[in-house]
Amino acid sequence: MIKHEQGGPAGLFLTLEGPDGAGKTTQARLLQERLQALGKEVLLVREPGGTAVGEIIRGLLLDPRYPEMTVACEVLLYSAARAQLVVEQIRPALARGAVVISDRYWDSTLVYQGLAGREDLAMIQSINFWATGGLAPHRTFLLDLEAEKGLLRVRGAKGDLRPAGGDRIEQRELDFHRRVRRGFLELASWEQKRICVIPADKAAPLVHDCIWEKVIPLLQ
Ligand code: TYD
């Protein structure tokens, strides 16, 4: 693994990661509220996006008119949006001493495009190290959930209650989600100091308690 600069100056940089449907967004909000209740300045950002340039890139990545987009192209777009977010939002907030919570960061690219999408992992690491000036999170919380359960949660939110893995397309989708889950766990095993695995198959307040327990020592 490449050597990362740890977190940068003054503030605290936390990221939330995990497969789709693991509940990152809810946990990011709960963590933000808890920290604010202690009087901390908190910047919550969501990838890709969070800057004018990043929002345009987000639109491009989510646009169904470009199914021909290659995985390498995705790597570059996600990393480009991240480069902008680091300079415009994350570094200035850390310099002010704020807590920054990012809903996804470079681990998502390493897993979705690298380990699950089968693009060159070392290249993705180099690109991201360069794009962010080597800004690594102090701590990353990996919300871990079985692929089937994550997919069900995502579909449930859209009102679609079919079981996961029915037809061929769904099976492909499920296989990809399984690779994503495995990929995140693999990454966590390589970087045990930075990445905390949090079981996410329980009620949101209980998952939050597990995260909070690990945040407290970082605030001192
Ligand atoms: P996100 O907005 O976090 O969606 P959700 O809240 O539903 O999980 O992420 C959107 C999708 O983008 C998600 O499937 C993961 C994917 N993604 C990548 O493939 N690579 C990346 O680098 C990032 C940041 C996200």
Residue 156 confidence (pLDDT) above 90: no
Query: Which residue from 29, 104, 155 has its CB within 8 A of the most atoms of ligand 1, so it is best to mutate?
Result: 104
Q: How far is CA 108 from CA 156, 202, 205, 214, in A?
A: 23, 22, 24, 21
- Give the C-alpha separation, 81 to 102, whole Å: 13
Residue 163 confidence (pLDDT) above 90: no
Whether residue 108 has its Cβ less than 6 Å from ligand 1: yes
Ligand 1 atom at minimal distance to the Cα of residue 105: 24
Structural domain for 205, as ranges = 5-219
Taking the centre of ligand 1 as the mean of its atom positions, its distance from the CA of residue 209, in whole angstroms, is: 24
Residue 171 confidence (pLDDT) above 60: yes
> In the predicted model, what is the mean pLDDT of the chain?
93
User: What is the DSSP code (8-state) at residue 111?
Assistant: I
Instruction: Specify whether the CB–CB gap between 12 and 96 falls below 8 A.
Output: no
Whether residue 25 has its Cβ less than 6 Å from ligand 1: yes
Residues 6+ apart with CB under 8 A from 48: 54, 57, 58, 61, 77, 78, 81, 82
Which pLDDT tens digit goes with each residue over 58-84?
999 999 999 999 999 999 999 999 999
Burial (Cβ within 10 Å: 0-12, 13-18, ≥19) of residue 165: middle
pLDDT at 3: 47
pLDDT at 155: 82
Which pLDDT tens digit goes with each residue over 90-113?
999 999 999 999 999 999 999 999
* Mean pLDDT in residue range 164-187: 87
* Mean pLDDT in residue range 184-192: 98
Residue 161 confidence (pLDDT) above 70: no
Taking the centre of ligand 1 as the mean of its atom positions, its distance from the CA of residue 113, in whole angstroms, is: 11
Q: What is the CATH number of the domain that holds 185?
A: 3.40.50.300
Taking the centre of ligand 1 as the mean of its atom positions, its distance from the CA of residue 143, in whole angstroms, is: 14
Q: Label residue 166 by pLDDT band (50, 70, 90).
A: low
Instruction: Specify whether the CB–CB gap between 66 and 60 falls below 8 A.
Output: yes
pLDDT at 2: 44
pLDDT at 164: 67
Taking the centre of ligand 1 as the mean of its atom positions, its distance from the CA of residue 119, in whole angstroms, is: 16
Residue 134 confidence (pLDDT) above 90: yes
Whether residue 138 has its Cβ less than 6 Å from ligand 1: no
Using a pLDDT cut of 70, give the percent of the chain over it. Answer: 93
For 89-124, give one letter per residue: b (16+ CB within 10 A) or e.
bbbebbeeebbbbbbbbbbbbbbbbbbbbebebeeb
pLDDT at 6: 54
Q: Label residue 1 by pLDDT band (50, 70, 90).
A: very low
As for how many domains the chain has, the answer is 1
Residues 6+ apart with CB under 8 A from 200: 18, 22, 23, 143, 144, 145, 207
User: What is the DSSP code (8-state) at residue 15?
Assistant: E
Task: Name the pTM for this structure.
Answer: 0.93
Ligand 1 atom at minimal distance to the Cα of residue 154: 7
pLDDT at 45: 97
Taking the centre of ligand 1 as the mean of its atom positions, its distance from the CA of residue 168, in whole angstroms, is: 23
For 194-214, give one letter per residue: b (16+ CB within 10 A) or e.
bbbbbebeeeeeebbebbeee
* Mean pLDDT in residue range 182-196: 98
Residue 185 confidence (pLDDT) above 50: yes
